[in-house]
Amino acid sequence: MQQFPFCPNPRCRWHKEAPKGKWAKAKGFYTTKAFGRIQRFQCRACHTTFSSQTFSLSYYVKRPIPLPDVLGRITSGESLRAISRNLSVSLRLVTNRIDRLARQAIGLHAQALSARVSTDDICIDGFVSFDGSQYFPSEIPIAITAHSQFVLDFSHASRRRSGSMTPAQKEKASLLYARCPLERGAIAQSFRETLESALALQPPSPHRPFVLITDEKPDYRRVLHRLEAFRNQTEERRLVHWTIWSKLPRTIHNPLFSSNYIDRELRKDLAHHHRETVCFNRNVANGMMHLALYLLAHNYLKPFRIRAPRGSRPGSHAEAAGIPASWVRQFAHSLTGGMRMFLSRLRLSATLKRTWEKGWKTPGKEKTEYLPKYAFM
């Protein structure tokens, strides 16, 4: 009989770790059009029934499509409509598969971070795009290591449009903002969440301070100075803030090179962040799923340096950041074909959990995002 590592029921005592013996018994079969005849099992502790499909990325799937193909297309600049046309499937199906891949990537990333063995300076900068309309710009702070270009965490904030506008544009903006109020201080809050996540992953030690590199935006300094870890720092637990003039040349010698680099990659590789495009985000929660999938695939699947001789440098950004090669291989294997990640078995940052649960709000949309029941398991 097939054995499983744990019970899928989050309330079961064997959910975190099952005993070595036969803790599940066979409980008949059921048939699906997509996968044929599948055996059902039952947990001896909580009596929950499940099958091998419960642990699969294709759980509840009615029409299988190749997930590696979807991953390659979404990270190579292909729009959602183009993917649905080329695969002859609906747009809703493509979005569902991207959600599954993004949750899998988030879970694998959270597990791999626990095995990280090195530290680095941290760059945080806001990537600017827009959602639904250019009257609703978004700022996405991304925490990325300075030397290995390894993305740790990210957040999102919607703000009002800035810059010069015609009288007609000003009138339209005032009507939109009256109908769609935005959260005050969202940019500072998103930066704070990203910074706190980076601090939790890499706290200062007597041997190495926490070095934060940002541009000269006043909000960043204000948030940092209000942070408890900054106010209560000691000689053995130091936080260093290094500010960089934003008009410096964006070369590899710029201390903010990693932030500038990931901005360029996002503009180049994600269709809804291209300049002057019609493929902009219509839905913030879906857009953050796409972003999570791209950034985490970048961490573990993209070569650290393309032109480096084989074996002379780390194979991926994750390895350069101190993630063991075995974890990188596990990510590559499990992202599209491994055991499904369970939210109840993960420790996620507040921002990654919000991305998983599609909790990001779209300006002007009051209805909460639909989330399938299996996403809460």
Q: Which pLDDT belongs to residue 311? A: 67
Per-residue pLDDT reduced to its tens digit, 30-84: 999 989 999 999 999 999 999 999 999 999 999 999 999 999 999 999 999 999 9
| Residue type present at position 161 | R
**Of 156, 145, 155, 153, which is closest to residue 258 (Cα–Cα)?**
145
Phi then psi for residue 81, to 5 deg, are -65, -40
Q: What is the mean pLDDT of residues 15-21?
A: 89
CB 77 within 8 A of CB 87: no
CB 87 within 8 A of CB 94: yes
**Of 260, 226, 262, 253, which is closest to residue 241 (Cα–Cα)?**
226
Please state, as a whole number, how many other Cβ atoms lie within 10 Å of the Cβ of residue 365: 15
CB 341 within 8 A of CB 352: no
Q: Which pLDDT belongs to residue 2? A: 66
pTM: 0.94
Question: What is the residue whose two structure tokens read 């005050």?
Answer: 184
Beta strand extents in the chain (DSSP E only): 24-32, 36-43, 49-51, 122-131, 133-145, 151-154, 157-158, 210-215, 239-244
Question: What is the residue whose two structure tokens read 């029409």?
Answer: 63
Q: Which pLDDT belongs to residue 1? A: 46
> What is the pLDDT confidence band of residue 92, given thresholds at 50, 70 and 90?
very high
Q: Strand 157-158 relative to strand 210-215: parallel, antiparallel, unpaired?
A: unpaired
- The residues spanned by each domain of the chain are 1-55, 90-376
Per-residue pLDDT reduced to its tens digit, 263-288: 999 999 999 999 888 888 999 999 99
CB 153 within 8 A of CB 349: yes
CB 123 within 8 A of CB 154: no
Q: Strand 210-215 relative to strand 122-131: parallel, antiparallel, unpaired?
A: parallel
The token pair that represents 14 in the structure block: 């064997």
Q: Which pLDDT belongs to residue 308? A: 72
Q: What is the mean pLDDT of residues 124-134?
A: 94
Q: Which pLDDT belongs to residue 315? A: 87
